[in-house]
């Protein structure tokens, strides 16, 4: 039911969704295609022992350095990322400004291979600069370290496409964002257009009485009937109508007192029920009680106790010490899993309530089948 409501809102406000979608996608296209592309090129080197290790003396002096190969390789990667190496590499290819180009280096995990990477807006300059960084770093390392040297592995090639922006991803995100924003604005516009009274009706609780409203009761009843029929569980519905001897539950100037009394009855009723039971206010001083997993006889016993508590409850604090003699009449219907519709089930409960009302002793009236006219149980 809720899904149908949401879909109807989106269909009703399609122009908001469409216009927001188009604006967002257009903005995404403009942003994506006006960004400066970024290309990436990588050159690789291997870290190998120096030929100087052939000399016995140099070999002895380099034993400690050999045990720190990963540390040395990481140091080489950091050297390649330094400002000095970048400037020397730029000078070697006559590049005046490297502001738009970034240089980084890293050691491939578990190997002695180092990657030097340059990212920038021009694919050819990016390629030339990273190759120059590799050569410059190789020369610097050769003059500073005796145990290890860098040996070229793969030279960088000209990148064919930029790594950013990712046009496909950017446009897809813009489309999704447009739909989400459009849907949100559509729901927001309906919210501001809906009168306060209509918004209250959407709520599942009767805000004045403090129990569930009729719409929620009927939805829950439908669900419980399906569950009871599928699993062969018992299910009962009780209707309780409240009357008094002074007419304080009627309209006029006593509306506030009327509401307070009904609210107190709702609170009182809820206190004596299980957590899974549902209490709802149907209007006209009538409460509905949905009692899942409860047979008709058990529901009758519960409602007899409930009837006694309501009839004995004192409302002096509400009625300014006026003696208020409340009386409740109760009708109970039990579900028999034989294809009875929700409306027919509610009609059974109403018939039971009517029969309880015309009964002189005012006891709870129970109907246990789907054809009460032919076969009903009088409490």
pLDDT (tens digit per residue) in 213-244 = 999 999 999 999 998 888 889 999 999 998 86
Q: pLDDT at residue 56 above 80?
A: no
Per-residue pLDDT, 318: 57
Q: What is the DSSP string of 229-279?
A: HHHT--EEEEEEEEEESS-TTSSGGGHHHHHHHHHHHHHHHHHTS-TT-EE
Total H helices, total E strands in the chain: 14, 9
- pLDDT exceeds cutoff 60 at 168: yes
Over 90: is that where the pLDDT of 201 sits? Answer: no
CB 279, CB 273: distance < 8 Å = yes
Q: Give me the architecture of the 39-154 domain, per CATH.
A: 2-Layer Sandwich (3.30)
Which two three-digit tokens encode residue 97? 């400004």
Give me the pLDDT at residue 98, please. Answer: 82
What are the residue ranges of CATH 3.30.70.270 in the chain? 214-367
| Mean per-residue pLDDT of the chain | 82
Q: What is the reported pTM?
A: 0.47
In the CATH scheme, what architecture does the domain 214-367 have?
2-Layer Sandwich (3.30)
Query: Residues of CATH 3.30.70.1130 domain(s) within the chain?
Result: 39-154
Residue 258 in contact with residue 248, Cβ under 8 Å? yes
């Amino acid at each position: 039911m809720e899904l149908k409501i949401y879909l109807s809102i989106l269909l009703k406000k399609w122009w908001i969704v469409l216009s927001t979608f188009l604006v967002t996608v257009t903005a995404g296209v403009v942003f994506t295609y006006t960004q400066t592309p970024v290309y990436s090129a990588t050159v690789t080197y291997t870290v190998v022992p120096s030929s100087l290790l052939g000399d016995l003396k140099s070999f002895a002096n380099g034993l400690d350095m050999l045990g720190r190969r990963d540390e040395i390789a990481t140091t080489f990667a950091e050297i390649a990322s330094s400002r000095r190496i970048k400037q020397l590499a730029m000078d070697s290819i006559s590049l005046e400004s490297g502001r738009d180009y970034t240089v980084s280096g890293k050691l491939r995990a578990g190997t002695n291979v180092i990657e030097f990477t340059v990212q920038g807006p021009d694919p050819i300059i990016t390629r030339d600069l990273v190759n120059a960084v590799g050569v410059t770093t190789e020369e610097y390392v050769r003059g500073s370290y005796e145990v290890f040297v860098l040996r070229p592995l793969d030279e960088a090639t000209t990148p064919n496409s930029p790594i950013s922006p990712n046009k496909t991803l950017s446009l897809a995100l813009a489309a999704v964002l447009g739909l989400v924003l459009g849907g949100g604005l559509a729901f927001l516009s309906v919210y501001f257009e809906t009168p306060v009274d209509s918004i209250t009706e959407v709520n599942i609780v009767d805000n004045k009485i403090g129990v569930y409203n009729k719409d929620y009761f009927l939805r829950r009843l439908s669900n419980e009937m399906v569950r009871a029929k599928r699993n062969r569980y018992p299910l009962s519905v009780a209707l309780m109508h409240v009357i008094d001897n002074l007419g304080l539950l009627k309209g006029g100037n006593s509306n506030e007192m009327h509401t307070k009394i009904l609210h107190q009855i709702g609170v009182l009723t809820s206190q004596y029920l299980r957590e899974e039971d549902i209490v709802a206010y149907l209007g006209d001083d009538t409460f509905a009680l949905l009692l899942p997993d409860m047979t008709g006889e058990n529901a009758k016993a519960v409602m007899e106790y409930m009837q006694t508590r309501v009839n004995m409850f004192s409302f002096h604090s509400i009625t300014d010490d006026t003696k208020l003699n409340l009386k409740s009449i109760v009708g109970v219907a039990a579900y028999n899993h034989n294809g009875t519709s929700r409306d027919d089930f509610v009609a059974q409960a109403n018939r039971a309530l009517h029969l309880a009302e015309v009964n002189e002793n005012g006891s709870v009236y129970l109907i246990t089948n789907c054809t009460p006219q032919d076969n009903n149980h009088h409490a």
